[in-house]
Amino acid sequence: MSKMIPVEGHKDLFRDENTNAIVNQDTVAYENYIALRNRNKSKQEQLDDMKNEINELKSLLNDLASKITS
Protein backbone atom coordinates (compact mmCIF):
# COMPACT_ATOMS: atom_id res chain seq x y z
CA MET A 1 0.00 0.00 0.00
CA SER A 2 1.32 3.40 -0.89
CA LYS A 3 1.92 6.18 1.56
CA MET A 4 -0.59 9.04 1.66
CA ILE A 5 0.95 12.48 2.14
CA PRO A 6 -1.31 15.25 3.52
CA VAL A 7 -1.90 18.16 1.14
CA GLU A 8 -0.97 21.42 2.79
CA GLY A 9 -3.96 23.58 3.64
CA HIS A 10 -6.55 20.83 3.00
CA LYS A 11 -7.41 18.53 5.90
CA ASP A 12 -9.19 15.87 3.82
CA LEU A 13 -6.88 15.79 0.79
CA PHE A 14 -3.92 13.44 0.50
CA ARG A 15 -1.40 12.74 -2.25
CA ASP A 16 -0.71 9.12 -3.14
CA GLU A 17 3.07 8.73 -3.09
CA ASN A 18 3.12 6.14 -5.91
CA THR A 19 0.66 7.62 -8.41
CA ASN A 20 0.93 11.27 -7.35
CA ALA A 21 -2.90 11.39 -7.39
CA ILE A 22 -4.83 13.64 -5.02
CA VAL A 23 -7.33 11.63 -2.95
CA ASN A 24 -10.21 13.14 -0.98
CA GLN A 25 -10.82 11.11 2.17
CA ASP A 26 -13.86 13.07 3.41
CA THR A 27 -16.31 10.16 3.59
CA VAL A 28 -19.22 12.29 4.81
CA ALA A 29 -18.95 14.63 1.81
CA TYR A 30 -18.73 11.60 -0.51
CA GLU A 31 -21.81 9.98 1.04
CA ASN A 32 -23.70 13.28 0.73
CA TYR A 33 -22.67 13.53 -2.92
CA ILE A 34 -23.86 9.98 -3.64
CA ALA A 35 -27.19 10.61 -1.88
CA LEU A 36 -27.71 13.83 -3.85
CA ARG A 37 -26.80 12.10 -7.11
CA ASN A 38 -29.28 9.30 -6.39
CA ARG A 39 -32.05 11.79 -5.54
CA ASN A 40 -31.39 13.69 -8.77
CA LYS A 41 -31.39 10.45 -10.75
CA SER A 42 -34.71 9.48 -9.21
CA LYS A 43 -36.19 12.90 -9.99
CA GLN A 44 -34.97 12.67 -13.59
CA GLU A 45 -36.51 9.20 -13.95
CA GLN A 46 -39.82 10.55 -12.64
CA LEU A 47 -39.67 13.44 -15.12
CA ASP A 48 -38.91 11.07 -17.97
CA ASP A 49 -41.85 8.86 -16.97
CA MET A 50 -44.17 11.88 -16.88
CA LYS A 51 -42.93 13.03 -20.29
CA ASN A 52 -43.63 9.58 -21.72
CA GLU A 53 -47.12 9.55 -20.20
CA ILE A 54 -47.86 13.02 -21.59
CA ASN A 55 -46.69 11.94 -25.04
CA GLU A 56 -48.91 8.87 -24.82
CA LEU A 57 -51.89 11.01 -23.80
CA LYS A 58 -51.20 13.40 -26.69
CA SER A 59 -51.11 10.49 -29.09
CA LEU A 60 -54.38 9.10 -27.74
CA LEU A 61 -56.02 12.54 -27.97
CA ASN A 62 -54.80 12.96 -31.55
CA ASP A 63 -56.20 9.53 -32.46
CA LEU A 64 -59.52 10.39 -30.81
CA ALA A 65 -59.68 13.78 -32.54
CA SER A 66 -58.95 12.22 -35.93
CA LYS A 67 -61.70 9.62 -35.42
CA ILE A 68 -64.19 12.30 -34.42
CA THR A 69 -63.43 14.50 -37.44
CA SER A 70 -63.41 11.68 -39.99
Report pLDDT for 70: 80
pLDDT in tens, 2-46: 799 999 999 999 999 999 999 999 999 999 999 999 999 999 999
Report pLDDT for 2: 79
pTM for the full predicted model: 0.62
Residue 1 reports pLDDT greater than 90? no
Mean pLDDT of 34-61: 98
Buried b (16+ CB within 10 A) or exposed e, 16-36: eeeeeeeeeeeeeeeeeeeee
Report pLDDT for 43: 98
